Amino acid sequence: MSDYTPKYYDPLDTSSVTSVICRELEAQSLIPLTPELPRFEGSGLYAIYYTDTTEPLYAPLVPHDIPVYVGQSLSHNSATGVATRGKSPLWSRVRGHARSIEGGGLRLEEFAARLLRMPDVHADLGENGLRVNYQPVWNAILRGFGSNEQGASTRKSARTKWDTVHQGRNRSYGESKHTREALIEEARVHIRMRIALVGEIPWR
């Protein structure tokens, strides 16, 4: 065995820690987004899932437990280090997303979330792992779901892809650069691709 070399293993390797975080998030129970979540304190990681069968675009995701959107809420501003306003950034973030889902004409009772309170540095790793491996359709294709109304600057901007497909949020945009039908087809193809690759996700 002159050519034998023992395996190298670093338990704190970034990919290993990321897998642990993502696995822990996915071990959490799915929490319906309606009725409104009870308020809780803390920041962390979250993933939003479609859970029903009535939306043909998203229904194929359900058996594979693939989220439509992932994100994080931070306890401190990443640029300044200043603590965020309020003690419940994770709750506030998901609550805002629930309003967007309803505003976009979707049935809120058909969506649920997994949430995990954790330090900012670990939430950052987890969000990146979920984004890269799942490429959730609202993160990767129908972008704009997580955007906020920003007054006149938003009204001058083109309508987001998410708002082009799911119209009705209480905000104003300029003209859309995309057609709704083309975006739906792009999202449908993307979802099929992500389902085909779900077995390659390292922590599953």
CA–CA separation, 160 and 175 (whole Å): 9
What pLDDT score does 76 carry?
Answer: 66
Q: Is there a contact between 53 and 59 (Cβ–Cβ < 8 Å)?
A: yes
Q: Is there a contact between 75 and 102 (Cβ–Cβ < 8 Å)?
A: no
Domain residue ranges of the chain, discontinuous segments joined by +? 14-199
Is the bond into 202 cis (omega within 30 degrees of 0)?
no
CA 119 to chain centre: 18
Which pTM was predicted?
A: 0.90
Per-residue pLDDT of the chain (204 residues; tens, 9 = 90+): 678 989 988 888 999 999 999 999 999 999 999 998 999 999 999 999 999 999 999 999 999 999 999 999 988 655 455 566 679 999 999 999 999 999 999 999 999 999 999 999 999 999 999 999 999 999 999 999 998 765 545 556 788 999 999 988 877 677 777 899 999 999 999 999 999 999 999 999
- Give the phi and the psi of residue 166 in degrees, each rounded to 5: -115, 85
What pLDDT score does 175 carry?
Answer: 73
101 sits in which H/E element: helix 89-103
- Nearest Cα residue to 105 out of 183, 167, 171: 167
